[in-house]
Amino acid sequence: MPQEPADDIVDATYRALCTHGYTDLTMQAIADECDKSKAALHYHFDSKQELLETFLSHLLDDFEEHLADVEGDDPVERLFALVDTMLVEPSAEEDAPDAEFKTAVLELKAQAPYEPVYRERLTLFDERLRDRIEELVADGIEAGLVVPERDPEDVATFVKTYLTGAQTRFVATGAPFEESRRLLHEYIRTELLVEGVDVKESGEVTA
């Protein structure tokens, strides 16, 4: 049974992706980033694809933890906080992903039709995000903050699609996250919130 790959391989993959992008990523480049030999890497992984599959699984674990931990005093505050963390300008916060990493993720998405394991992992990200938004919208309806006519699953899929678009546009055309964020906030305010409920700049919900 292969050993669990050490965290340093996962970290090295992140750095190598930022430096080389996905297309030019090699096992050698990842080995260089963690001071291992290529042979040592191949002890854990037969191919770049297999290593990336494990890398994406680690990323997914982090993402799930992050989705669960999103802060706020009520479901709507948490919904705003959640969409905001998906639309953070790189290097605006210390733990925000690098712009180069966002580009590498888009490269991976473009490879998904050719690499079923990537598609499978990317679909899990997509589903986890939808489930979490759906949950927050449903909780928001129950708390009397979100219009009950809205279907939580539909809203979740719609918002998730918008978030994906904002990420793609950031990479492809440099579209600023600040604008994408402002427009999504406006959508949530006018389309989802019960009249009289609002959210301050601080993220605090007032009814």
Which among 187, 128, 118 has a CA at the least distance from the CA of 159? 187
Closest CB to its own copies among residues 178, 204: 178
Site for its own copies in 45-104 (CB under 8 A): 99-100, 103
- Closest distance between its own copies and the C-beta of residue 191, in Å? 5
Rounded to whole angstroms, what are the CA distances from 121 to 55, 128, 162, 173?
A: 10, 11, 20, 26
Determine the Cα–Cα distance for residues 34 and 181; give it in Å rounded to an integer: 36
Q: Which of 190, 196, 202, 206 binds its own copies (CB under 8 A)?
A: 190
**121-160 residues near its own copies, rule: CB under 8 A:** 122-123, 126, 154, 157-158, 160
Closest CB 16 distance from its own copies, rounded Å: 16
Binding to its own copies by residue 176, rule CB under 8 A?
no
- 194 lines the binding site for its own copies (CB under 8 A): no
Q: Which two tokens stand for residue 207?
A: 């009814």
Distance CA 82, CA 92 (A): 16
Asked if 19 is part of the footprint of its own copies (rule: CB under 8 A), the reply reads no
- For CA atoms 74, 78, 79, 80, give the dihedral sign: positive
Q: Which of 88, 117, 175, 194 binds its own copies (CB under 8 A)?
A: 175
Say whether residue 165 binds its own copies (CB under 8 A).
yes
183 belongs to the binding site for its own copies (CB under 8 A): yes
Angle (CA) 75-80-81 rounded to 5° is 95
Backbone φ/ψ region at 72: left (φ over 0), alpha (ψ -120 to 50), beta: left
Least distance from C-beta 77 to its own copies, angstroms? 22
In whole angstroms, what is the distance from residue 41 CA to residue 48 CA?
A: 10
Q: Residues in the site for its own copies, rule: CB under 8 A?
A: 21-23, 99-100, 103, 106-107, 109-110, 112-114, 119, 122-123, 126, 154, 157-158, 160-169, 171-175, 179-180, 183-184, 186-187, 190-191
